[in-house]
Structure 1
Amino acid sequence: MTRIVYLNGRYLEEHRAQVSVFDRGFLFADAVYEVTAVLNSKLIDFAGHFARLQRSCTELGLTLPVSEQQLRDIHQELLIRNQLHEGGIYLQLTRGSAGDRDFCAPADLSPTLLLFTQARPLKDAPQASAGIHVVSLPDIRWHRRDIKTVQLLAPCLAKELAHARGADDAWLVEDGFVTEGSSSNAYIVTADGTVVTRPLSNDILHGITRQALMQLAADGGIKVEERAFTIAEALAAKEAFISSATTVVWPVVSIDGQTIGDGKPGPVSLRLRQRYLQLAEQSTQG
């Protein structure tokens, strides 16, 4: 089956979808994106992703050309047309095309809105049961990481360096402290069972899954401390893990070749993952 994508009001076979070579998303990374997870053909936390998309648009002065309900309908239509059961829907909004390359964008541009589906395992991802290995790398990204832009060259390079070193991913470090993963939020679990993660600021992405996990931890009597932590502290932790829309929770079992805890996924990360998936299956709205 040929994948159907949405582009500027039309549903097209992916090979027929075309964007101008002068689109500012292509030339300047003048664009934002979101990824909404899909489980059992239902959207997970669409409202949270829409709210973050709106915030990103406000911060960059982008115009979102559809309402929340219209965007939900587009997601729904893509689910149906592509028969997506599990995975995610990627959305990208650019400032549009001015017909030529110019750093200053005209005020009357029509934005480019693109969405497409991606099938991938969420519930039975092997990384969730085996854990992942990460390496620490300098965080060289720009300083508005709270805006979900498509400026992803630094994360791509980080992932490539991690793979070259035999690891699955990277944790990024700035001024001696972990900011986040290359495309995820980062956490450790201390000796007393406290979950530690960096507080929200311009330094990290305000993860939608992170927000849900914080609430689940509070509801489950798990203490959470929002503060910066170092790689040394992570190496001494009982557990470590990451979260994002498409990973949910993946335990981290080693950093820079050194084992975390007993080298296996720990009970806190597994408990949070299981509870998140249970609630998602019960409450996802199409």
Structure 2
Amino acid sequence: MYILVNGEYKKRDEVAIDLEDRGHQFGDGVYEVIRVYDGAFFAMKEHMERFIRSAEEIKIDLPYTIGELTGQLEELLRLNKTEDGGIYMQVTRGAAARKHLFPGKDTRPELTAYPIPCSKPAKEQEVGISLSLLEDVRWLRCDIKSLNLLGNVLAKQEAHDRGAYEALLHRSGMITEGSSSNFYGVKNGSVFTHPANNLILNGVTRMKVEELCRQNGIEFLEERLSTEGLVSLDEAFITSTTSEVIPVIKVDEGKIGEGIPGPVTRKLQKLFDELIAKETKVVEK
């Protein structure tokens, strides 16, 4: 496996991260996961723009332009001969003596990227999943794709321990998102989801689903859903880079709609698959 390290390509056993890297000590960095289908990146532009934005929000000055980063990741894909999977990329503020204050301008940000396995969750997409409702105790800047994921990790594990596929988080009874996904409810043919503000991560798949809804006559409403309103939904689903579009048929012991994947979710699954094929087909291998 080849790893991208600050613009260079190294074998896995050649890579070392400094003990005083601020990502290791403080979680002081941001990341992205970009899906690869049939040897091509999907939604690269949106992922790169979000990565740059997240870095800017925590005041990390990236030494690369979007064009340079894109070229480096494409070369990484070629070197690893990745056909189906993903690329994980992160940047930290760099290695410096452990102090809470930012280090000086001479500290170089540490950027790494490498391929990760990703496969289509076909079974879950076909039959649907269950979620478990948990209080959202994360910080108030969930719009930043930060390395600080302890709140997400604990929620995901708690949901797993309860026998659910994913956590469904809420603040004071108002649903925000999943631990690693965006959540949507469907009622009377309209799609409802939390506004893209500081309380959620505006997922790249979320952006694509919004576009698909607007292009195909499906009303897409950025309105908060309450935990009490779950029982009145006709359908529900989650999205993420690795999950794509997965129907939700149950939250804890409560059934969503008829307890089976609904027609709006099925339509969006089909439209999303078509979009993947369209966007990756045009890329030269």
Report the TM range for the smaller structure's normalisation. over 0.9
Q: Distance in 1 between matches of 2:116 and 2:266?
A: 25
Secondary structure of 1:76's counterpart equals helix
Partner of 1:171: 168
CA offsets, 1:218-272, max 9 Å, x none? 1111111111001221232111111111111111111012221222222211211
SS of alignment partner, residue 217 of structure 1: helix
1:278 matches 2:244: no
The one-letter code of the counterpart of 1:170 is: A
In the TM superposition, what are the counterparts of 1:39-118 in structure 2 within 5 Å? 39-98=37-96, 100-108=97-105, 109-118=107-116
Stretch deviating more after TM superposition (52-61 or 177-186): 52-61
Match of 1:223 among 219, 228, 250: 219
TM-score of the aligned structures, taking structure 1 as reference length: 0.94
Q: Deviations over 1:127-153 (max 9, x none)?
A: 111211110001010000111101100
SS of aligned partner of 2:91:
strand
Q: Distance in 1 between matches of 2:209 and 2:149?
A: 25
Letter in 2 for 1:139: D
Q: Which residue of 2 aligns with 1:126?
A: 123
Q: Secondary structure at the match of 2:86?
A: strand
2:179 alignment counterpart: 182
Determine the structure 2 residue equivalent to 1:242.
238
* 1:197/1:226 contact within 8 Å kept: yes
> Equivalent residue for 1:145?
142
Alignment partners' CA distance in 2, 1:150 and 1:270? 33
Structure 2 letter corresponding to 1:215: E
Change (3 A) 1:79 1:234: same
In structure 2, which of residues 254, 257, 264 is the aligned counterpart of residue 261 of structure 1? 257
1:12-31 to 2 correspondences below 5 Å: 12-31=10-29
Q: Measure how far apart 1:73 and its partner are.
A: 1.6
Q: Deviations over 1:189-229 (max 9, x none)?
A: 01x11100011111111111111111101111111111100
Is 1:160 aligned to residue 127 of structure 2?
A: no
**Helix, strand or coil: the match of 2:214?**
helix
User: Is 1:136 aligned with 2:133?
Assistant: yes
Residue 2 of structure 2 corresponds to: 4
Code of the aligned partner of 1:282: K
Deviates more, 1:38-47 or 1:72-81: 72-81
Query: For residue 36 of structure 2, what is the aligned residue in structure 1?
Result: 38
The amino acid that maps onto 1:64 is: L
Q: Describe the superposition over 1:47-88 as per-residue Cα deviations: whole angstroms up to 9, x where unpaired.
A: 111111111121111011222122112221222222222221
Could you tell me how far apart the structure 2 residues matched to 1:240 and 1:15 are? 44
DSSP-derived class of the 2:89 partner:
strand
Code of the residue aligned with 2:86 in structure 1: it is: G
- Percent sequence identity over aligned pairs: 37
- TM-score when normalising by structure 2: 0.95
